[in-house]
Each structure stands twice: as C-alpha cells, then as structure tokens.
Copies of this chain bind each other. A is one copy, B any other.
Amino acid sequence: MFSKACEYGIKSTIYIAEQSIDGKRVSIKEVTKAINSPEAYTSKILQQLKKNEIISSDKGPGGGFSIDNITMEKITLKDIVYSFDGDKIYKGCGLGLNQCNAVRPCPVHHEFAIIRDGLTRLLEETTIKSLALQLQGGLSFLKA
C-alpha cells in the first residue's frame, strides 16, 4: 500500500505529535525506539517531514522534533502520504495506465473508483492529532 518510507513517516509523525501534546520534544533515537525503525533511515524521513513543514526540529541540547498543536490539527494522513508516495495511490490507475478515466476506463476502473474514493476521503479526513490522541489513550500502538 504505502512505501516503507511513508509508513515510517506516518508512525514518526503520530509519535512526535503524541509527545508534543505533553509538551515533550523527542530525539531521533526516541522516535526509532518508539516505532521500531532503523535510526539513520528514520533520520532521512524526519528531514523530509521537516522540509514539507509537517514537523519542526531544534538542534542542540534539549532540542529534538515536535509538532505544534495547530499543525497537528491541520495535517492529515494525505499530507504525509503525498510527501513520500505522491498521489498515485488515490489518483493513479489500478493497472498503471497513464490515462484511465470514466470515458476510457481500464478493466478495473469502475470497481476501483469506489475503493480509491473511500481511501482518499479517509486520508483527507484523518488528522494527525486524532491519531495521536488515540495513541495516548492506549487505544492504538505503533509497534508489534
């Protein structure tokens, strides 16, 4: 579904948001521990998230990553997915045709349109804050 990079990106963001709600900044090490991911690679992911203005970072002692409250309410899964995998998941053709639409559909176009629309809505409507709150409440988990 999503690339590994995107999965790490989503998990990192949710974890950082959860900690930010408690006013805590987190280091790369803490993130990788929380989501069970390779440290150096996760570092790249976090850089990418910062470039896309999804998270903030501060260098030096007491520094780390954080998300302010307004941002975590505004940013949705779609923003993160778009940052890593682009829009092909919810816009692209299921069979990879360059042009595929209702007028000239691929064999699975109509069937997939329903799934894709559902996915798009889900990604658009799910905010990071809502996911962070669930995590904080012990209703969900970031690692197995």
Binding site for B on A (CB under 8 A): 1-2, 4, 7, 10-11, 14, 77, 89, 92, 94-100, 104-109, 111-112, 114-115, 118-119, 122, 126, 131, 134-135, 139-144
Contact = CB atoms under 8 A, between A and B. Distances in A.
A12 to B, nearest CB: 11
Given A118-B115, A144-B97, A144-B98, A1 B108 contact: no
A143 B96 CA distance: 9
Contact of A105 (B96, B109, B118, B141): B141
Copies in the complex: 2
B96 A4 contact: yes
- Chain A contact residues: helix, strand, loop or mixed: loop
Contact of A140 (B99, B106, B122): B106
Nearest to A95: B7
B2 A142 contact: no
